[in-house]
Amino acid sequence: MIKFLDLKKQYLSIKDEIDLAIQNVINDTAFVGGKYVKEFENSFANYNNSKYSIGVANGTDALEIALQSLDLPKNSEVIVPANSFIASAEAVSRVGLKVRFCDNNEYYNIDIEDLKKQINSNTSAIMAVHLYGQVCQIDEILKIAKENNLKVIEDAAQAHGAEFNSNKVGNFGDIACFSFYPGKNLGAYGDAGAIMTNNPELAEKCRLIANHGSKEKYHHQIEGRNSRLDGINAAVLNVKLKKLDEWNKIRREIAQYYVENLKNIDEIVLPKEIENVYSVYHLFVIRYKYRDKLIEHLKNDGVETGIHYPISLPKLEAYKYIKQDCSYMCATNWDKELISLPMGEHLTMKDCEYIVNSIKNYFKMK
């Protein structure tokens, strides 16, 4: 049995450090906020070469709070790629803005040509998702944003440590959001997230919003909300942040192995890396016309797979109310072909060999 994700194995590899870190939080009763949260916020900002990192309750909250801090005109449009996790779009509507979808390209990120087409006089921002751990074409997006006076929010929930031109994601847009959902490249032991920015005013605003609008207890300057990072999660993240580069490197090695060994199968479309991008392969996603058959074959061989995502955002019931024609988009057609192969530091080279052989067998047998 080859698992898609193996958080138990990961825990056992760092058990002593994790157990101690969690015990320390309990001993210090530093459950919400406190020194472990401060320590993580500082280390994560340092790791990222960013000025400010604000811990929040989850990645979706990070997006909502970040969007709110930008003070965009009510009901203005934010452009969101059609293939992403729903949170990228949900956050937009939740803060009184409108979702406008744009297509994904062969790198599974915002398609630049379609992005240009979606911009109108009511557009206020672009949700630049770094999907699957690959940086989107952020230089082009920033250029277009500047020309059209748009804000850029980076959704880096799948891209901790990914780089473009040796700069880490989270440093390109006006503000960036990370998720530490357990299965992400950097994951907590529960829900957690962070906002990242180099803008001191936005950082302060986000901190205010996330903490009931107060800097000083019971002195509420605005109505905010409760979205804080827990001490136990921060302590876990402090341990795991030190492993992130090593684990990302293993992900890249696995990706390279998959590409090397599957490149001769014409029926499969392999992921491509953009030049000057250091992708961290949160997911390794291939496309194949008879996706369900291959998934079934792999399952029979004991290999778990995933689909990210089986229904593109414009086709979701939740977005029936958006009257935008997205039927021409690659994103809305490829959702029937996507397969995510197992990916993560839990895989051994023997596992990868087994997976590759199972896929090769499928194509010979067919």
Ligand X SMILES: *Cc1c(COP(=O)(O)O)cnc(C)c1O
Out of 60, 109, 211, 238, name the contact with ligand X by CB under 6 A.
Answer: 60
87 binds ligand X (CB under 6 A): yes
Out of 59, 187, 271, 314, name the contact with ligand X by CB under 6 A.
Answer: 59
58 binds ligand X (CB under 6 A): yes
Give the binding range for ligand X (CB under 6 A) out of 14-22, 33-41, 116-124, 150-158.
150-158
Q: Which is nearer to ligand X, 60 or 68 (CB)?
A: 60
For residue 81, the one-letter residue type is P
129 binds ligand X (CB under 6 A): yes
Instruction: Note whether 102 and 118 are within 8 A (CB).
Output: yes
Q: Which is nearer to ligand X, 194 or 268 (CB)?
A: 194
Q: Which is nearer to ligand X, 229 or 352 (CB)?
A: 229
Number of residue whose CB is nearest ligand X: 59
64 binds ligand X (CB under 6 A): no
Shortest gap between Cβ of 304 and ligand X (angstroms)?
A: 18
155 binds ligand X (CB under 6 A): yes
Instruction: Note whether 192 and 157 are within 8 A (CB).
Output: no
Q: Which is nearer to ligand X, 161 or 352 (CB)?
A: 161
Distances (CA, A) of 114 to 36, 103, 111, 189, 331: 43, 6, 5, 38, 12
Residues 186 and 206: their CA atoms lie apart, in Å, by 22
Shortest gap between Cβ of 151 and ligand X (angstroms)?
A: 17
Instruction: Note whether 342 and 3 are within 8 A (CB).
Output: yes
Within 10 Å of residue 290's Cβ, how many Cβ atoms? Answer: 14
For residue 328, the one-letter residue type is Y
Q: Which is nearer to ligand X, 94 or 360 (CB)?
A: 94
Instruction: Note whether 95 and 75 are within 8 A (CB).
Output: no
Instruction: Note whether 313 and 84 are within 8 A (CB).
Output: yes
